[in-house]
């Protein structure tokens, strides 16, 4: 009788464990496969990273980005063809500053600078955006700079981004994980879910680079990993979890 009861309860226990894992952000929409790129910055040179706009260097075992130009944040980029991926890294703000994690395809001419999608991080908010069909799409990009068309542009941006409230303390290390599968992009922070966005531009098949853009005071990055994603088949849609 006890054995039968345990067997009957097993599916419920498995379901409960999956639910706990989801709420802890360990699995949102993908699981990890093989490694595509890893960097722990245990050297003095910039290595495989390309400094597109000045302000990036490697020192004391971390990648450091600091805005040097007044008209644009510092940009440090690694070139790696990818589509469905899981990206993880550690970061530390040295002050109340901002940075973006951006996926690009320089060969895509339909958006400004070939931007495809991004995660914008600030001390009080993390925003996920579809750049390809959102704010960086050429026609919308132009409309938003025309006061007469700005309202029309805002209507076109409906559903192209989500934002979650967070509290990120300066001088404290955090771990971020970004999962991209098809039209979905999900972000977790220290193992806890932050937000998911479902939007068509995210599914762009040839994301040929990943870069960090730092605006303001230094941001430290470490332990950057890019892994092939294995879809779980789970559909999140667009949702946020305020932290």
pLDDT score for 40: 98
φ/ψ of residue 139, rounded to 5: -65, -40
User: What per-residue confidence (pLDDT) applies to 1?
Assistant: 52
Q: Is residue 223 part of a domain?
A: yes
**Could you tell me if 203 and 130 are in contact, meaning their C-beta atoms sit under 8 angstroms apart?**
no
In a domain, 7, yes or no: no
Residue 153 lies in a domain: no
Could you tell me if residue 134 is inside a domain? Answer: no
Q: What is the pLDDT of residue 23?
A: 42
3-class SS shares of the chain: helix, strand, coil, % to 5: 15, 45, 35
- Phi and psi at 141, nearest 5°, equal -55, -45
Please report the pLDDT score of residue 20 as a whole number.
Answer: 40
Domain count, the chain: 1
Answer whether residue 191 is part of any domain: yes
pLDDT tens over the chain, length 243 residues: 554 544 454 444 433 334 444 444 456 999 999 999 999 999 999 999 999 999 999 999 999 999 999 999 999 999 999 999 999 999 999 999 999 999 999 999 999 999 999 999 999 999 999 999 999 999 999 999 999 999 999 999 999 999 999 999 999 999 999 999 999 999 999 999 999 999 999 999 999 999 999 999 999 999 999 999 999 999 999 999 998
The predicted structure's pLDDT at residue 165: 98
pLDDT at position 243: 84
Parent domain of 117 = 29-129+162-240
Residue 13 lies in a domain: no
Answer whether residue 135 is part of any domain: no
Query: In angstroms, how far is the first alpha carbon of the chain from the final one?
Result: 45
For position 4, what pLDDT does the model report? 56
Residue 39 forms part of a structural domain? yes
Report the CATH number that the domain containing residue 49 is assigned in CATH: 2.60.120.560
Q: From residue 43, give the alpha-carbon distance in Å to each of 61, 94, 111, 235.
A: 6, 21, 35, 40
């Amino acid at each position: 009788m006890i054995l039968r009861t345990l067997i009957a309860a097993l599916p419920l226990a498995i379901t409960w464990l999956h639910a706990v894992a989801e709420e802890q952000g360990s699995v949102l929409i993908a699981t990890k496969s093989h490694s595509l790129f890893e960097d722990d910055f245990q050297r003095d040179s910039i290595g495989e990273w390309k400094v597109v706009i000045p302000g990036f260097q490697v020192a004391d075992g971390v990648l450091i980005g600091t805005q040097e130009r007044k008209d644009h944040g510092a940009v440090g980029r690694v070139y790696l063809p990818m589509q469905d991926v899981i990206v993880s890294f550690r970061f530390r703000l040295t002050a109340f500053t901002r940075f973006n994690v951006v996926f690009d395809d320089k060969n895509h001419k339909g958006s400004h600078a070939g931007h495809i999608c991004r995660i914008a991080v600030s001390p009080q908010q993390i925003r996920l955006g579809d750049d390809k069909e959102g704010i960086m799409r050429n026609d919308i990009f132009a409309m938003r700079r025309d006061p007469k068309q700005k309202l029309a542009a805002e209507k076109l941006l409906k559903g192209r981004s989500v934002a979650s409230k967070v509290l990120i303390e300066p001088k404290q290390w955090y771990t971020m994980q970004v999962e991209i599968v098809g039209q979905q992009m999900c972000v977790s922070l220290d193992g806890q879910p932050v937000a998911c966005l479902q939007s068509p531009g995210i599914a762009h098949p040839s994301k040929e680079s990943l870069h960090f853009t730092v605006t303001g005071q230094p941001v430290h990055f470490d332990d950057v990993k890019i892994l092939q994603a294995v879809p779980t088949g789970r559909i999140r849609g667009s949702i946020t979890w305020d932290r």
